[in-house]
Amino acid sequence: MWQLNPEYRKERALLIGIVLFFLWGIPLGLFLYVFIDMPSFRTLEDPTPELASVVYSADGKIIGTFYLNSDRVRVPANAIPSVVKNALIAVEDRRFYEHSGIDPLGIVGAIFSILSGRTRGGSTITQQLARNLYDAVGVERSISRKLKEMIVAIFLEYHYSKEEILAMYLNTVPFGGVTYGIQAASRFYFGKDVQQLTLSEAALLIGLLKGPTYYSPYKHPKRALARRNLVLDLMVEAGFITAEEARIARRQPLGVGSAPHTASQSQGLAPYFREYLRGWLTEWARGRGYDLYRDGLQIYTSIDSRLQMHAESAVVAHLRAFQKVFEKELSSRPLPWKKDTSILWRAMLRSERYNVAKSAGVPEKEIYKQFHQPVRMHLFSWNPPGYIDTILTPWDSLAYYLRFLEAGLVTIDPHTGEIKAWVGGINHTYFKYDHVIQAKRQVGSTFKPFVYTAAMDNGYSPCYEELNVPVEIPVRVDGRDTVWSPRNADREIGGKVQLRKALALSLNIVTARLMKALGPQVVVEYARRMGIQSELEAVYALGLGVCDLSVLELTSAYGCFPALGIWREPIFIREIRDRRGNLIESFTSTSRRALSEKTAYLMVDMLRWVTIAGTAGELRWRYGLTDLDIGGKTGTTQNHADGWFVGFTPELVTGVWVGTADRAVHFYSLVNGQGARMAMPIWALYMKAAYSDTSLKLPRRRIPFPPGIKLPDCQSPSEEDKQEETKIEEYLR
């Protein structure tokens, strides 16, 4: 049998091996090389870049984001306007809708550009998305990276629609700093949601993608303008807009403000609420295995952005003007901290600077020394631009800030328990302390409705006449027996007064007599039933509001009146979803019946009297709220340190507090230092704006009579009271 020469067999085997190597080995090796560090198919099917958690208002507005490394917000494809998508396609990939992830014509064009000495990218939008989504694809200039990019691009085109790819791209690209995605960029540069972008604004943002720093409208406005106009020209070339539309858009200014809109968590709508929410969500997320700053949670709150805006505007409008009144009165006498240096010491102990140094282990003497060393600082000012740039010792800055009137405001829907607006202070950048929930201040006469509620529920009538004559009540204070005998604010006494008028005029003597008849413990029990959780000492002076309460709990308790006796736990979140929109948890308010419908409605009517013929009568004739069904109560504390007003309409209950950081710094007279001057105007301005806002569609209705209940017909003996009754009857009609 014929056999091959052994040497020849070896050569043939070697030749076959070489051929097989080139046919299979090299491709296999290249395949393995390319697929080393490739994203897994599971990752490709479920790309999960780091996403900021987004906070939504009840009316669908984004009011904040929580993020660690990047402010990256995901919005659905249908939320991105076509003007943005068209600008992107015109600049990056005009054949986007014609290819399947890889554009051969684009690659050929890129090759010819390179051969001619010009650098031009041949990557499609889908290929660029592959790089943005998956770190394993890489960004280095190499054949392996390009192959990985193409493979991922083909996978994306197979699994997602063109619109979804555009949305994923626009949700992941960087726009400078920690701002990622078109929504975050829209908020950062223009202070608006992506749906509201104009043609000019969309062109500016897409133009930034070439180099967010180089084309920054803040650092290089001329470059940014030229780049924006180039994008408009490219859109004309691509047929997305007409030459006339481009001409009009070129005439528009850049549109950005003097500073980014989301440069600080202290800026934007509802900063005090967002800070409280952040702390609450951090604990909530930790207990459920989520990362608030990376997992892209979608938090749907109960805050209404329109009410929040009106509330913040009312606080600013009143206190910017009223601060001048306070300054004038404060300067009429020696400044409080000049007479009592402990005021400044208390302010230092409350300050962030002190607490940071203390936490770092700095000795007390060294901290005090640091407080007396001049440093450059920005101080808050009501005058434009909103701050004062100066050199001052921190000790002197304490005195500067002590003279500012601060505020706390919260609005609750009494029928759902949802918090609709939350204003914790006058400026979160400079005043971090939240006066809605952190602070507890003496409430003064705003506590009196609890006393009258207990009276109405225990057989009294609004028509009941009580002596307006001082009463002496034996009490024990600090271990010794004494007598408590309060006086009215106006010092007037004598005769009998119907309870509805006594509450309207906030008569201390009548309230003290009711406290004596009912007993302090009974009043405490009613306050507890209505939602007051803070410590309440069962003493007779409680009826005049010597207790310290937060704005939130006091306002929540007042909600029992327009809700006809139902107390609802305040809530601020409706639901939380994951980044894909899957529901994680929903929230509803718990409730209980605190009062009978009859008692609640009697109090509604008595508190109406306060706003018609009582301490809050200016609400109607000064602020024009004549067509609203409103009730409420003013409150002023000892030495005029705190001014309050808590009021309600059929739809909303709102509490307002105004005062300084230290109770020792206050108005000297009741003329301006009362709740009707300090706090009530904020409520009035706020309600007038809210009920005039047609987008809110707040009805102008009355709180309905409970079935089978009739208001008592009080026969007033005096001509003055008869005139007041006539005003009430006219109002009710």
From the CB of residue 254, how many other CB atoms can be counted at a distance below 10 Å?
17
* Residue 598 vs residues 84, 416, 650, 704: alpha-carbon distances, Å: 58, 20, 16, 12
| Measured CA angle at 668 (ends 662, 674), to 5 deg | 85
**Which among 445, 506, 550, 556 is annotated as catalytic?**
445
Burial class (CB in 10 A: 0-12, 13-18, 19+), 382: middle
**DSSP classification of residue 220:** -
SS3 of residue 40 by DSSP? coil
Task: Give yes or no for a contact between 155 and 38, defined as CB atoms under 8 angstroms apart.
Answer: no
Task: Give yes or no for a contact between 509 and 486, defined as CB atoms under 8 angstroms apart.
Answer: yes
Q: Following DSSP, what letter does each residue of 481-518 receive, concatenated?
A: EEEE----TT----SEEEHHHHHHTT-HHHHHHHHHHH
From the CB of residue 77, how many other CB atoms can be counted at a distance below 10 Å?
17
| Selection from 401, 404, 425, 447 nearest residue 636 by Cα | 447
Which residue type, as a one-letter code, is found at position 218? Y
Tokens of 322: 């009223």
User: Is 161 an annotated catalytic residue?
Assistant: no
Enumerate the H helices of 25-142 as residue ranges: 26-35, 41-45, 82-92, 104-115, 125-133
Element (H, E) at 248: helix 243-250
Task: Give yes or no for a contact between 608 and 630, defined as CB atoms under 8 angstroms apart.
Answer: yes
Q: Any idea which residue has 């967010």 for tokens? A: 212
β-strand partners of 407: 658
Cα distance from N-terminal residue to C-terminal residue, the chain? 126
Task: Read off φ and ψ for residue 607, nearest 5 degrees.
Answer: -75, -20
Task: Spell out where 416-503 has E strands.
Answer: 419-423, 441-442, 465-467, 473-477, 480-484, 496-498
| Measured CA angle at 448 (ends 303, 615), to 5 deg | 80
Q: Following DSSP, what letter does each residue of 1-16 receive, concatenated?
A: -----HHHHHHHHHHH
Alpha-carbon gap, residue 283 to 163, rounded angstroms:
37
Alpha-carbon gap, residue 457 to 600, rounded angstroms:
9
Task: Read off φ and ψ for residue 635, nearest 5 degrees.
Answer: -150, 135
Element (H, E) at 321: helix 305-330
Find all residues with CB under 8 Å of 296, minimum gap 6, and list them: 51, 52, 53, 54, 72, 74, 578, 579
Alpha-carbon gap, residue 430 to 665, rounded angstroms:
19
Tokens of 172: 């992941």
Peptide bond connecting 104 to the previous residue in cis, omega within 30 degrees of 0: no
Task: Read off φ and ψ for residue 124, nearest 5 degrees.
Answer: -80, 170
SS3 of residue 63 by DSSP? strand
User: Is 92 an annotated catalytic residue?
Assistant: yes
Task: Give yes or no for a contact between 630 and 619, defined as CB atoms under 8 angstroms apart.
Answer: yes
As a dihedral over the C-alpha atoms of residue 373, residue 425, residue 528, residue 479, rounded to 10 degrees, the angle is 30
β-strand partners of 585: 576
SS3 of residue 206 by DSSP? helix
Task: Spell out where 276-394 has E strands.
Answer: 298-301, 375-380, 387-392
**Which among 53, 57, 70, 92 is annotated as catalytic?**
92
Q: Any idea which residue has 């600082």 for tokens? A: 377
Radius of gyration of the chain (CA): 34
Task: Read off φ and ψ for residue 347, nearest 5 degrees.
Answer: -65, -40
Catalytic residues: 92, 445
